[in-house]
Structures are given as structure tokens and as C-alpha cells.
Amino acid sequence: MITPWEVEGVISYQRLIEDFGLSDFSELRNSIPNPHKLMRRNVIFAHRDYERIIEAMKKKKAFAVMSGFMPSGEIHFGHKMTMDEIIWHQKMGAKAFVAIADMEAHLVRGISWDKTKELGMKYVKSIVALGLEKNAVIYFQSKNSFVKDLAHELSSEVNFNEMRAIYGFTGDTSVSKAIVSLIQSADILHPQLKEFGGPKVVVVPVGADQDPHLRLTRDLASRINLFSLEKIEKGIRVRSKREELLKEVAKLGFETKKFSGHVDVFGNHEEIEEEIRSLEVDLGGYAFIPPSSTYHRFTTGLTGGKMSSSKPESYISLFEKPEVAVKKLRSAFTGGRATAEEQRKLGGVPENCVVFEFYSFHLVEDDGELERIKEDCKSGKMLCGECKKFAETLLLEFLKEHREKVDEAESKLEDYEIIG
């Protein structure tokens, strides 16, 4: 079972690609300029429409990256993965939007508003410490009127049967989950509001458990627009729920052919789409582009399963005390053999090792060094004790440096746009 609020069972990423209708990210990797280590190492395993993002990066076109964090518990390395992806896209030219999902934490998890604020600011300071630059928009959902107003508008475009089909809601499901799902859709779409520069491609880096939000949002983005666009040979087919608006399309200067219920516009696809979206904004519409998304593998909990803020034993916090962090890492599940003798003979299994995952996802930047660790494990040259000792050293270095950078970040926050 995989929902935005619950993950159970053994995860098959290939099955997720097939069941959710995702695309394999590895097919795009070679076309990405200076790919992030999570891309190079197949940690980011799937996507929707990421080709649009690659094109925007290469052509220096406006685009945005948006994701968020629910302040229901301590920030851990699973959250750091998403933060790293936001920061990388920002460095590649994206306008960054960071949501602190305090409404979701309060409504779904029952966290008090004061606690969501306290925890939320730790998330804010951490992403700044990790390298988020000043031209980002950071906000708490409860304080962002653009998001709340847009969620109100989006609510008229979806019914409970659809929510049930997407999220698996039952008669016992709290209405609060439907509300926060619409808030999430508004989070994802609001970077395209005219107040933030208008329609643009937006990428949302998430774990696979968040895909229901992306599916709903992509549907809502199309439904709420004044015009729907469909590529045809040598042009674009344009439809509208308000058929009288199709007359405005004919005034744009392209060759057109009018039919009952739609108009075909001929010419360069990109130019036509840009002009029609601009027209829609002028007419008071949104002209949303369905969001793109990337999906990373779940960070494995130290004791197995998914790393979760609600299970302290499963994670190492970015603010963990050194002695606690070391104790947790030493108890982590590894891919070692039953005995040292057996491991020297047969080698370890790094693919099943939480410690090696820490190396791969977070602690080792250089691909060559990571490959050396992997081969030393598989050959039996390095045993689990030695491997964990090296990981402890890197982990403690990171935690010490992160605390120092968080302290520095506190004095920089006034330079950031923070709503909340």
C-alpha cells in the first residue's frame, strides 16, 4: 500500500513505474547537463514530463522547482534528499518554491500550530544551511493566501468519486485529507500564477508515495484552464468550455481552421502554445502547464522499511546528538554475511545495506570513491565493522558541519522571502 500518508509492504520500483504510468528516468540521464548524484546513481528512478525541464534548462527558459515538507517530526535524511534536489534545480536556473505543510501537519497528524511553527523553522533553516539561495520563496501553507485561494478555486473541479479513486478514500476517511490534497495541488500550481511570473514548467521532486497528488494536480491543471491544447500534425488543436473564446484564438495571427467545438491552429507548436497561454492570462484564466515530477527511492529506515518521522528508531535526524547518531548507525541493518569468515569468502551485499545506502544517497559525493567502497564490500576486503566505522566518521563530520551552517543560516533568514 502506498499513499501520501502510509507506505506498507515491499516496494517494487518497476511495478510502481507500471502501475502509476511513470517513465523510467534512466532513459533521460544522458541528456541532463551536469546531473545530480541522485540522478547518476539511479536513486531518482522515474519521472513525468521531465523532458520539459531539460529543455528549459538547456534553452535558459523560465522554470520552477517546487516541493514541501510536513513538520510533523524531526527533519531526517529522507527529507534532506528532497532538499538536495530542490537546491540542485535552483542552481540549474529554477525559481525555487519551498512549502512548509503546516496545514497538513495540523489537520492530518494533529500537531499544534505552535509546534508546526517550531518544527517548520528547523526545516527552513536546514534547507538554507544546505545551500538554498536567496531568490527562493519559502512559505507556511496557513499563511499563504495565494495557495489557500487557489485551493478554493480548484475544489469546484473535482468530486469525491475521483478522490476515492486516486487516494483510496473510504467512508471512514476524514474530510481533512481531501482538504489537504487540494492544498497540495494549489502548492504545486501556484508558482504559475501571474503574481509569480505566469505559466511556466514546474518540476516537483518527491517520493513515489506523493504521486497521487501529482496525478490529481495534473488533471486539475487541465480542467481549470480556459483552453485545452492538443498537439496535431503541423499545429495545435484548441478547445474551450466557453466556445465563444475560440474566436479570440483566431485573432492571434496564425493560420486556423474552425470546427464545431474546437479550432485547429497551424504553425510552430511552441510558439502557438506560448501565444495561447498568454491570451488565456489576458482573459483572466490560469493557463497552467501540467506539472512535471521526479520520483526518488524511499530512504530505508535503519531497522528496515521506510524512514519515517513518526518512528524515531528508523531515522537519524539532521540535529541528532553525535552519540545517538553513532549508536543508531551501529545498529543499522547491513548486507553482511552471518560471520566474518563467510563475508571474507563470499563478500557482502551492498545493494541490501542501509549503511551503503547512506554512502550512496548522502555521505559520498565522488562516484569513484563510492564504487571503491562497493567493490571492497562485494569482494570481502572490507567487513561491516570497518565499513560502519568509516560511515560514522563521515556522518559525524556532516552533522557537525550542518549544525554550524544552521547557526549561520539563522542570521541570514531576513534576506529570504519567507511567508509565515
The CATH number of whichever domain residue 202 belongs to comes to 3.40.50.620
| Averaged pLDDT, 353-367 | 93
Helix (H) or strand (E) holding 176: helix 175-189
pLDDT exceeds 80 at position 68: yes
3-state secondary structure of 38: helix
User: Which residues are within 8 A (CB) of 408 and not within 5 positions of it... i.e. 6 or more apart?
Assistant: 129
pLDDT at 299: 82
CA-based torsion, 302, 303, 304, 310: positive or negative:
negative
Residue 336 lies in a domain: yes
pLDDT exceeds 90 at position 310: no
Residue 386 lies in a domain: yes
Q: Are residues 156 and 255 in the same domain?
A: no
Residue 304 lies in a domain: no
Residues in the chain: 420
Helix (H) or strand (E) holding 213: helix 211-224
| Averaged pLDDT, 249-265 | 93
pLDDT exceeds 70 at position 10: no
Rounded to an integer, what distance in angstroms lies between the CA atom of residue 370 and that of residue 359?
Answer: 7
The pTM for the full model equals 0.93
Looking up residue 335, the CATH number of its domain turns out to be 1.10.240.10
Rounded to an integer, what distance in angstroms lies between the CA atom of residue 302 and that of residue 182?
Answer: 33
Q: Are residues 244 and 366 in the same domain?
A: no
| Averaged pLDDT, 263-269 | 95
Rounded to an integer, what distance in angstroms lies between the CA atom of residue 400 and that of residue 405?
Answer: 9
- Range in 191-205, 310-324, 398-412 the model is least confident about: 310-324
pLDDT digits (tens, 9 = 90+) for 104-117: 999 999 999 999 99
Tell me which amino acid residue 35 is.
P
Q: Are residues 135 and 239 in the same domain?
A: no
Q: Are residues 32 and 176 in the same domain?
A: yes
Q: How many domains does the chain have?
A: 3
Q: Are residues 206 and 72 in the same domain?
A: yes
Q: Are residues 11 and 139 in the same domain?
A: yes
Rounded to an integer, what distance in angstroms lies between the CA atom of residue 53 and that of residue 61?
Answer: 9
| Averaged pLDDT, 151-157 | 96
- Range in 5-9, 67-71, 120-124, 339-343 the model is least confident about: 5-9
Range of the domain at 276: 227-282
| Averaged pLDDT, 368-377 | 95
pLDDT at 344: 86
Please provide the DSSP assignment of 63-115 as one string.
EEEEEEE--SS--BHHHHHHHHHHHHHHHTTPEEEEEE-HHHHHHHH---HHH
Residue 305 lies in a domain: no
Q: Are residues 147 and 255 in the same domain?
A: no
Return the higher-pLDDT residue of 254 and 333: 254
Q: Are residues 78 and 210 in the same domain?
A: yes
3-state secondary structure of 2: strand
Give the pLDDT band (50/70/90) at residue 170: confident
Give the pLDDT band (50/70/90) at residue 345: confident
pLDDT at 300: 81
Burial class (CB in 10 A: 0-12, 13-18, 19+), 121: middle
Q: Are residues 180 and 62 in the same domain?
A: yes
Give the pLDDT band (50/70/90) at residue 346: confident
Q: Are residues 209 and 248 in the same domain?
A: no
Q: Are residues 176 and 124 in the same domain?
A: yes
pLDDT at 305: 66
Burial class (CB in 10 A: 0-12, 13-18, 19+), 174: exposed
pLDDT exceeds 60 at position 38: yes
pLDDT exceeds 70 at position 9: no
pLDDT digits (tens, 9 = 90+) for 211-250: 999 999 999 999 999 999 999 999 999 999 899 999 999 8
pLDDT at 1: 54
Q: Are residues 186 and 97 in the same domain?
A: yes
Residue 412 lies in a domain: yes
